[in-house]
Amino acid sequence: MNTAGCLCRKSAVYYPFGPFLGARVRDNFEWGGHQFKKGTLVLLDVYGANHDPDLWDNPSEFRPERFKEWEGSPFDFIPQGGGDHDMGHRCAGEWVTIDVMKVSLEFLAKYMDYQMPKQNLNFSMARIPSLPKSRFMINSVTRQ
């Protein structure tokens, strides 16, 4: 597949739901040496922040235990927004999402077998949600 000119990635097992977030600047401000003018459309690089090698050791490695003793800032890991849940703009569904994911992953990993047929797992980082071209197909599904 030709990926030239397209912000595409190939992933065997995962892809970002929302690679970036957009917002419009309400009032002029300066941050990190940059001027933000009222009315400007700004994009927050969610994927980039979650994979920043200055914050994360081997950011692409699936290593959930890294969060066991993690004492990072609420702005370091932002798949569902950053900052404070009560006063900020962070995802109101974060806790229910995490619980649903725990139950779903346990079921997929422990209670069923399946095959992944040949498929196109390329996805675009310029699309929200960044679904793989084939979505995600499984077959030969059996209960364990």
Binding site for ligand HEM (CB under 6 A): 17-18, 21, 79-81, 89-93, 96-97
Distance of CA 42 to the CA centre of its chain: 18
Taking the C-alpha atoms of residue 141 and residue 115, their distance in angstroms, rounded to an integer, is: 7
Residue 74 or 117: which CB sits closer to ligand HEM?
74
Annotate 56-75 with DSSP letters as a single string.
SSSTTS--GGGGTT----TT
Q: How far is the CB of 72 from ligand HEM (least distance, A)?
A: 17
Residue 56 or 77: which CB sits closer to ligand HEM?
77
Q: How far is the CB of 134 from ligand HEM (least distance, A)?
A: 20
The residue with its CB nearest to ligand HEM is 93
Helix, strand or coil, per DSSP, at residue 27: coil
